[in-house]
């Protein structure tokens, strides 16, 4: 039997199947497994385990590493399939995506081809108005980028440790030290700046290190302790199951939570290694451990074998399907799964496996590395060329759509006037030089009214002072921040200071607007404890209005704009690209307008002295339909923020329905 056959671990193949199944279930919307994204962490631990075991064995036997041979093996294994899927995704995108999207996502393909897309995504994550990441067909390459960056650094770390003091003990200390530092930084940054902790490879190194340490723990410690091995297997599987069943997108991940799937994977790897005696293939004794036997079942072995190709294909399939049919039925999702399996099997048998096993490429490291470098360069160049071609395809209508979506509001265009998540001290910004003052107070849904309000104020002798903060309602309601992955305490502190500052300033009118609670639920994709939330919101809105009213201030509360089920700019751009009318992106009023909540909101505002409710929904909606393209203008820049050129057209309404409240 060959060495590779003796080294084969059916339990590891089964673990790969569990990992990719979790990721696919999560991305395909299986709500029963909300933590399936932790499957990526399982992959990281497995990679750390296998690569460290291989490298340490080579260093121990020869005192050196054949790095060219190591990288050639990685290149044969990973590059061809990855670049083929990138090329196929770009080709499909030329039909499905608008030119603006093609230009943007081709940049993602460029970074993915160079295994650096995780760094690009860090920057993207801090842009409040960045295109929705779930529409990026290449975003899943972030984990492959992290893994490739690990492959570049890890051999050097192991060789350095061996060079300083030959022996496995020095390697264990080095791996343990790197893992500990990485984990501490990761746990800290998860609560401070989650995108860095999630995407940056040094902050994920501890997961690879956990697998590496597990590979160096002697299997003989469990060799004769079969009951202990079974207990560890069951505990490991339970940990992964708990992570899959209880984690969610809102969790502060990776941080401390990632310890659960990482520890579970380590336990399964060690328990799986303990079932074989010297010279005996691991699979012979798998029956002694039912968890290990289950992982060796043929369906899991088949999925594990295809796991890399499945991971590559599943995301572009579900992303493009969602673009073509935004409300996918269960049957359509199953069809997407079948297509993913078919594409994975084809690419595995025609590309991935033949190239990995090619005798000519295996004979010499240079034979694999030179084509790999050429392939990588070709992938980067092709993605860049596709981005340039897409820009050239932008006709006049497409350019207007792109420019409308990109133009910031008057307040946001002035640096620091719409404050970020971490800021707790308000920074009011002044627009105009009138003697009387209007205060604009709220979140980004107050901000998008700044453009017409500031212009209306200027015409009527008012200066507008803005008190604005991202995702922070004027209503006194504490919320969870999906961006910070924790309670949004900064908002509560900022709001109280802003209310106090507005009262001290004594403006002639306070204008308030905010994201509707029902729109927030639609964004989150779940209802939550609606009764409790509604009660908190009613009390919070009444409290804010009462504080301002009792201070003798007049308040105009502008009803929130309609909510759309997709980014309007991309929907309209795709429609024009396919020679369809923008009206295909319109929404039913029943879905978009939040009429029931607005009625409750109006009742609260009308019950407060000096407060008036301003409803401009008639500028967006008829009795049955809410429009996204109005009077030749794009009405929204995304799902729920007005496009600035359209907002400008509402200046007369601001003058007639808002400024008029001052003289009431």
Q: What is the 3-state secondary structure (H, E, C) of 389-421?
A: HHHHCCCHHHHHHHHHHHCCCCCCCCCCCEECC
Which band of pLDDT confidence, cut at 50, 70 and 90, is reported for residue 281?
very low
Q: What is the pTM of this model?
A: 0.87
Mapping DSSP to helix (H, G, I), strand (E, B) and coil, where does residue 463 land? strand
Which band of pLDDT confidence, cut at 50, 70 and 90, is reported for residue 127?
low
CA gap 409, 464 in Å, rounded? 14
CA gap 273, 271 in Å, rounded? 5
pLDDT of residue 126: 59
627: which DSSP letter? Answer: -
Query: Is the confidence at residue 282, as pLDDT, over 50?
Result: no
Question: Among 121-130, 453-462, 601-610, which is the least confidently predicted range?
Answer: 121-130
Q: By C-alpha distance, which of 281, 243, 290, 263 is closest to 34?
A: 243
Tens digits of residue pLDDT in 132-150: 667 899 999 999 999 999 9
Tens digits of residue pLDDT in 152-164: 999 999 999 999 8
Q: Name the burial class of residue 596, with classes exposed (0-12), middle (13-18) and buried (19+) by CB atoms within 10 angstroms of its CB.
A: exposed
CA gap 371, 332 in Å, rounded? 39
CA gap 8, 16 in Å, rounded? 13
* Spatial contact of 444 and 473, defined as CB atoms under 8 Å apart: no
Phi and psi torsions of 637, nearest 5°: -90, -20
CA gap 22, 38 in Å, rounded? 7
What average pLDDT does the chain have?
A: 90
CA gap 221, 56 in Å, rounded? 19
Query: Is the confidence at residue 528, as pLDDT, over 80?
Result: no
With a CB cutoff of 8 Å and minimum separation 6, the contacts of 612 are: 554, 555, 556, 557, 605, 661, 664
Q: Which residues pair with 625 in a beta bridge?
A: 588
* Spatial contact of 313 and 344, defined as CB atoms under 8 Å apart: yes
Q: Name the burial class of residue 529, with classes exposed (0-12), middle (13-18) and buried (19+) by CB atoms within 10 angstroms of its CB.
A: exposed
**Tokens standing for residue 269:** 């790897």
- The CA angle 619-621-624, to the nearest 5 degrees, is 160
- Spell out the domains of the chain, with CATH numbers in brackets: 21-275+291-392 (no CATH), 408-559+593-618+655-662 (3.40.50)
131: which DSSP letter? Answer: P
* Spatial contact of 555 and 545, defined as CB atoms under 8 Å apart: yes
Query: Is the confidence at residue 280, as pLDDT, over 80?
Result: no
- Helical axes 205-215 vs 39-62, angle rounded to 10°: 50
Which of residues 42 and 3 earns the better pLDDT score? 42
């Amino acid at each position: 039997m060959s060495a590779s056959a003796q080294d084969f671990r059916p339990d590891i193949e089964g673990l790969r199947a569990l990992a990719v199944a979790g990721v696919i279930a999560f991305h395909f919307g299986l709500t029963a497994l909300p933590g399936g994204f932790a499957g990526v962490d399982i992959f990281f631990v497995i990679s750390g385990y296998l690569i460290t075991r291989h490298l340490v064995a080579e260093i121990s036997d020869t005192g050196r590493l054949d790095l060219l041979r190591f990288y050639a093996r990685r290149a044969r294994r990973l590059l061809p399939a990855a670049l083929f899927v990138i090329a196929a995704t770009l080709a499909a995108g030329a039909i499905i995506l608008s030119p603006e999207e093609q230009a943007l996502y081709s940049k993602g393909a460029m970074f993915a081809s160079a295994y650096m897309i995780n760094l690009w995504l860090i920057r993207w994550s801090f842009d409040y108005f960045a295109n929705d990441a779930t529409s990026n067909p290449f975003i899943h390459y972030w984990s492959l980028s992290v893994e490739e960056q690990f492959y570049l650094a890890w051999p050097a770390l192991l060789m350095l440790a061996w060079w300083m003091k030959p022996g496995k003990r020095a390697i264990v200390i080095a791996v343990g030290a790197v893992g500990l530092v990485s984990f501490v930084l990761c746990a800290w940054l998860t609560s401070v700046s989650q995108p860095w902790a999630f995407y940056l490879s040094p902050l994920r190194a501890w997961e690879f290190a956990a697998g590496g340490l597990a590979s160096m723990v002697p299997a003989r410690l469990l060799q004769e302790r079969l009951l202990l091995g079974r207990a560890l297997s069951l505990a490991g599987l339970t940990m992964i199951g708990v992570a899959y069943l209880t984690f969610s997108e809102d969790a502060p991940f990776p941080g401390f939570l990632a310890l659960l799937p990482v520890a579970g994977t380590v336990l399964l790897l060690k328990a799986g290694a303990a079932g074989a005696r010297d010279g005996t293939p691991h699979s012979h004794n798998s029956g002694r451990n039912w968890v290990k036997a289950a992982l060796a079942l043929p369906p899991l072995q088949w999925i594990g074998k295809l796991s890399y190709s499945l991971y590559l294909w599943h995301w572009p399939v579900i992303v493009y399907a969602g673009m073509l049919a935004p409300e996918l039925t269960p049957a359509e999702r199953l069809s997407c799964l079948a297509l993913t399996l078919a594409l994975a099997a084809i690419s595995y048998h025609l590309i991935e496996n033949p190239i990995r096993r090619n005798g000519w490429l295996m004979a010499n490291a240079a034979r694999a590395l030179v084509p790999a470098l050429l392939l990588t360069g070709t992938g980067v160049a092709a993605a860049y060329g596709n981005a340039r071609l897409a820009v050239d395809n932008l006709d006049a209508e497409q350019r207007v759509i792109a420019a409308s979506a990109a133009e910031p509001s008057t307040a946001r265009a002035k640096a620091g006037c719409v404050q970020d998540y971490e800021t707790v001290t308000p920074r009011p910004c002044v627009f105009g030089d009138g003697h009387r003052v209007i205060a604009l107070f709220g979140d980004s849904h107050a901000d998008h009214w700044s453009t017409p309000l500031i212009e209306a104020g200027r015409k009527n002798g008012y200066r507008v002072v803005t008190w604005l903060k991202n995702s922070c309602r004027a209503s006194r309601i504490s919320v969870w921040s999906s961006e910070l992955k924790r309670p949004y305490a900064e908002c509560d502190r900022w709001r109280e200071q802003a209310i106090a500052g507005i009262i001290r300033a004594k403006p002639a009118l306070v204008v308030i607007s905010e994201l509707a609670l029902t729109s927030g639920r639609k964004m989150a994709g779940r209802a939550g404890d609606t009764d409790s939330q509604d009660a908190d919101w009613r009390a919070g809105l009444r409290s804010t209005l009462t504080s301002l009213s009792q201070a003798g201030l007049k308040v105009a509360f502008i009803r929130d704009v309609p909510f759309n089920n997709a980014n309007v700019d991309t929907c309209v751009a795709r429609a024009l690209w396919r020679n369809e009318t923008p009206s295909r992106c319109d929404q039913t009023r029943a879905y978009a307008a939040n009429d029931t909540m607005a009625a409750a909101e109006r009742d609260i505002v009308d019950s407060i002295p000096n407060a008036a409710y301003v409803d401009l929904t008639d500028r967006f909606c008829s009795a049955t339909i809410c429009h996204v393209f109005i009077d030749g203008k794009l009405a929204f820049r995304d799902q729920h923020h007005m496009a600035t050129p359209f907002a400008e057209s509402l200046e007369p309404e601001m003058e007639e329905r808002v400024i008029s409240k001052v003289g009431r």
